[in-house]
Structure 1
Amino acid sequence: MHFNQAPEIPENPLPIVVIGAGGIVRDAHLPAYALAQFPVVGLYDLMPEKAKSLAQSVGMPQCAFDSLDQLVQKAKDVGAVFDVAVPADQILGILKQLPDGSAVLLQKPMGETLQEAEQIRQLCRQKSLVAAVNFQLRHAPYILAAMDVMERGLIGETFDVEFNICVHTPWELWEFLKTKPRLEILYHSIHYLDTVRAFWGEPKRVFASTIKHPNHAQLAPTRSTIVLDYGAYRQARIMTNHGHDYGPDHQQSYLKIEGTEGAIKIQIGTSFDYPKGRPSKFKYYTRKEAEMGWQEVPLIGDWFPHAFIGPMASLQFHLQNSNSAFPNGVEDAYQTMKLVERLYESNELGAVPLEKHSRR
């Protein structure tokens, strides 16, 4: 059976100018835009040589700009969309320099705290920016396929979602994370939180514990256990351990969705041996085809780079028709940031200690 795995692409996509020339732009943004045939006409970085080197490596040397002002002028001349792919603490400063009314795709997270997210949201409103946030996992081929399976009713009413990640993540690849007070939930599990929200909306209650790893003691917490309570029978769990450095045999990275009539199991291949990764896999079981057992669906693409097409496509469709669905809009992304903040609050509130009984 065929399931949807790709976002709809605008027929006449607008050109794109990119602010930032880091690894995520090299490995995901530019390859995704090439796959979707989105024209990239400008590239700028605070380190101009970095932008020039990247532009040269992808055969677009004419796209590198020495200053943000030059890039902004290029965007004005051609009516381009801004792709702001910078660390979260730089987003506000960049937005202040963009023309009012611009169309902007912001890198996730939407700031480093809920207060920063609120400032970004308010600035977007004040400047009349048509802004989206690059929460891209909900656009990955296997997530789109899972949504299709669910919408067709093949697994009935869903009641259980579980993300379980037990891998070795090379945090040293992201130099800027060394000094961040928040790490795992804000920069990693936020993808899973946003995806659960795409499935079910807002939870009723949340519980979280995020803690350091002894082998990553210089970093903020890199292990988390998260529970999202939706009431009645629905619950989502996110369990992450990024320090399992004992060989690949018992590493795992999966999403499991259970429903009253079946289930979905997805291997998230990107997490293994990052950034090399393994192929992702998608299997589902439905009582409607019980004789088939668990069926594997061949995947067309993966999280990197294919999922990065979705947020830009969604933004451009919204520019063409303001009534179209806008799942990555700043207003929705703010709700994901609000959820992140509540989880850190839950972590700070702490566990309930066992009552101490005196010995008799």
Structure 2
Amino acid sequence: MKPALPLHTHPVFIIGAGGIVNSAHLPAYQLAGFDVQGIFDLSPEKAAATAASFQIPQVFTSLEQMIQTAPPNVIYDVAVPGSALIAVLQQLPPGARMLLQKPMGEDLEEAEQILSITRTKKMLAAVNFQLRYAPYILAAKELINQGSIGTLNDIEINVNVYTPWHLWDFLFTAERVEILYHSIHYVDLVRHLLGNPVAVFAKTVKHPAMAQLASVRSNIIMDYGDFVRANIITHHCHNFGTAQQHSYIKLEGDKGAIKIDFGALINYPHGVADTFQYTVTNENGHTEWKTLPVGGSWFPHAFIGSMAQVMLAAGQGGLPDNSVEDCIYTMACVEAAYIASKQGGVPLRNFSNTI
């Protein structure tokens, strides 16, 4: 499955030359035929190396130089940490069009500042919650939109893997890790499929083997009332080989179900193959699981859709599907999860006088 693509592409300038730019953004843009014309990074060596690897014609020595050189129809790919987004937005010109790396700031307060800046400067801004556009999610949405599995009433996302967090040095000083930098994708996906929840319950915890990091395991329940279940369970410290590792997205309706085993997180960064299975109950009440071949994966193919949304909006008007106006609610859900985790559940001591 492929995302909607613009008839006419726009030149892209990339701010940041980190690992995700090299492993996902640029490979995706090459696949899509997007024209990356320039790059800037605080490390000139990183920018030069990335430019050489991907044949990017211009390497800028400063953000100011990039802005002065930018063609009028440029789209900025702002691939910097969430903590740096506000500073970059303050420098970009009014009316600029951009794709912001997730998360949309380090917390909801920063996300609200980002939203305010983009509104004040009349910017066209989207957030790179790219799981929405992974080929297997597009395939699932097609089945759902066709009515094949009926009305969606159950979403379960379950991840049990070993994640080498040491690959990202900045996380060791981050106050928030698992939900903000990983499960945020699943929170956004649930919102994308079901809309905004009524409330969020959560508990996110550390692990003895990774005590120097903030929480690396999470349970999140997104509340959609009495007839819809939306659960996210993540455990990133299963360091016992890959035999019992898994990462899946299960979607159930009243007529059928979809199960996506996504392999990007298993034996990271090498990954394993994805599988897409679905079943539809026939008129006799019989169900049979079938496998649907789906070309492409989360990395790098989903990154095509994120940028394509900005290009489509720039060319046709309106807001991209992943606009900051929409994604602010993903950040609100994340904030709610952290607050819920801190507040905790109902203490058993409340019942000490009755049992």
TM-score range, shorter chain: over 0.9
Q: What is the aligned partner in structure 2 of residue 168 from structure 1?
A: 162
Q: Deviations over 1:137-163 (max 9, x none)?
A: 010000111111111111111111000
Tell me by how many angstroms 1:357 deviates.
4.2
Distance (whole Å) between structure 1 residues aligned to residue 204 and residue 61 of structure 2 = 41
Q: Describe how 1:75-90 pairs up with structure 2 within 5 A.
A: 75=70, 77=71, 79-90=73-84
Does the 8 Å contact 2:144/2:150 carry over to 1? yes
Q: Does 1:217 align with 2:198?
A: no
Deviates more, 1:285-294 or 1:264-273: 285-294
Distance (whole Å) between structure 1 residues aligned to residue 286 and residue 113 of structure 2 = 54
Q: What is the aligned partner in structure 2 of residue 310 from structure 1?
A: 305
Say how many residue pairs are matched.
Answer: 353
Distance (whole Å) between structure 1 residues aligned to residue 315 and residue 53 of structure 2 = 32
Q: Percent identical across equivalent pairs?
A: 49
Distance (whole Å) between structure 2 residues aligned to residue 118 and residue 23 of structure 1 = 27
Q: Does 1:144 align with 2:100?
A: no
Q: What is the aligned partner in structure 2 of residue 34 from structure 1?
A: 30
Distance (whole Å) between structure 1 residues aligned to residue 326 and residue 199 of structure 2 = 19
Q: What is the aligned partner in structure 1 of residue 269 from structure 2?
A: 275
Tell me by how many angstroms 1:327 deviates.
1.4
Distance (whole Å) between structure 1 residues aligned to residue 256 and residue 48 of structure 2 = 51
Distance (whole Å) between structure 1 residues aligned to residue 2 and residue 353 of structure 2 = 62
Equivalent residue for 1:57, pick from 53, 56, 65: 53
Distance (whole Å) between structure 2 residues aligned to residue 42 and residue 78 of structure 1 = 14
Equivalent residue for 2:183, pick from 181, 186, 189: 189
Structure 1: where are the runs of 5+ without partners? none
Q: What is the aligned partner in structure 2 of residue 116 from structure 1?
A: 110
Distance (whole Å) between structure 1 residues aligned to residue 253 and residue 140 of structure 2 = 12
Q: What is the aligned partner in structure 2 of residue 132 from structure 1?
A: 126
Distance (whole Å) between structure 2 residues aligned to residue 283 and residue 273 of structure 1 = 22
Provide TM-score, normalisation by structure 1: 0.95
Tell me by how many angstroms 1:358 deviates.
7.7
Does the 8 Å contact 2:281/2:287 carry over to 1? no
Structure 2: where are the runs of 5+ without partners? none
Tell me by how many angstroms 1:58 deviates.
2.0
Deviates more, 1:39-48 or 1:313-322: 313-322
Deviates more, 1:326-335 or 1:287-296: 287-296
Tell me by how many angstroms 1:95 deviates.
0.8
- Structural RMSD (CA): 1.6
Tell me by how many angstroms 1:73 deviates.
2.0
Q: What is the aligned partner in structure 2 of residue 66 from structure 1?
A: 61
Distance (whole Å) between structure 2 residues aligned to residue 91 and residue 168 of structure 1 = 29
Equivalent residue for 1:96, pick from 69, 90, 93: 90
Equivalent residue for 2:245, pick from 251, 254, 267: 251
Distance (whole Å) between structure 1 residues aligned to residue 293 and residue 49 of structure 2 = 36
